[in-house]
Amino acid sequence: MKFKDDCCLSNYLLSNEYAYDMKYCTVDDNAGHKRSGDYARRHSEQYRKGYGIWRWSSIFLHRSQIIPIIFDDSKQGVDFGGAEGLLRHNIDIIDIQDTDVMDRPVKYHKLSEYPHKVDFIFSSHALEHMKDIASCITDMANILKNNGTLILNLPSYTCNRWHAGAFPDVLHYPQHYHTFCLSPAKNKHIIPIDTLLKQQFIIDTAEYSGDNCIIIICHKKQTIK
């Protein structure tokens, strides 16, 4: 990663330099359904390895909500599906891959393997690869503390190449098994992900955002023991 530690990374994300680097990450229409003009540059291998998930314009546009959660050292969290684009240095990753983008071993490969309760879960472009999405969401809720935060950056139905079955399994990446929208449902083949989450989470933010993404920030409902 471009930044040697989490202090350098968090300082950069709060700086004018980050805003300048991402200055073309603007929402192109009222629903944010189009890519911004510099999409190819930001998602090149160099940017993916250097900037991790912070290269996504949907993350950039919601950074004021995300950064205080991710970089709160009093909170413990996990990055689900983050081996190919790091969220921060000092965080546990849960991913099917054996190593992350910095060639560090990935210790946990399933949510159910994770031994601790956490304050937050972050996940970017991972849920669409899970065959049993309902069970995956339940597993997320199970390792979150009461009122814990779930942050999701998901591909939107507005990008045809991200639709379920649009490309075959390649390398380490299973195909997209699901296509997502926000409620109301578009058709029987597209999942309104916010409706599914509401069974176990309270939605704080659910929006179409830049780069044909859906950004959701929610917190786990209180459970009574």
199-220 residue pLDDT tens: 999 999 999 987 889 999 999 9
| pLDDT digit string, tens, across residues 101-148 | 888 999 999 999 999 999 999 999 999 999 999 999 999 999 999 999
Query: Which three-class secondary structure state does DSSP give residue 85?
Result: coil
Residue 222 in this model has a pLDDT that exceeds 80: yes
Instruction: pLDDT band for 45, please (50, 70, 90 cuts).
Output: confident
- Is the Cα torsion angle 67, 65, 194, 165 positive or negative in sign? negative
Give the mean pLDDT of 5-26.
85
Query: Which three-class secondary structure state does DSSP give residue 121?
Result: strand
User: Other CB atoms closer than 10 Å to residue 187's CB: what's the count?
Assistant: 8
Of the chain, the percentage scoring pLDDT greater than 70 comes to: 89
Q: Tell how strand 118-124 and strand 144-155 pair up.
A: parallel
Tokens representing residue 144 in the block: 């979150």
- H/E stretch holding 42 reads helix 39-42
- Is the Cα torsion angle 62, 63, 67, 68 positive or negative in sign? negative
- H/E stretch holding 7 reads helix 6-13
Closest CA to 153 of 185, 180, 188, 114: 180
- Identify the pLDDT of residue 168: 66
- Identify the pLDDT of residue 78: 98
Give the mean pLDDT of 47-65.
89
pTM over 0.85? The answer is yes
Give the mean pLDDT of 193-199.
96
Is the preceding peptide bond at 184 cis, omega within 30 degrees of 0?
Answer: yes
Give the integer Cα–Cα distance in Å for 182 and 152.
13
Q: Where does 6-220 sit in CATH, by number? A: 3.40.50.150
- Identify the pLDDT of residue 225: 58
Radius of gyration over every alpha carbon of the chain, rounded to an integer in angstroms: 17
Q: Is 173 left (phi over 0), alpha (psi -120 to 50) or beta?
A: beta
Domain ranges of the chain: 6-220
Closest CA to 5 of 84, 90, 62, 68: 90
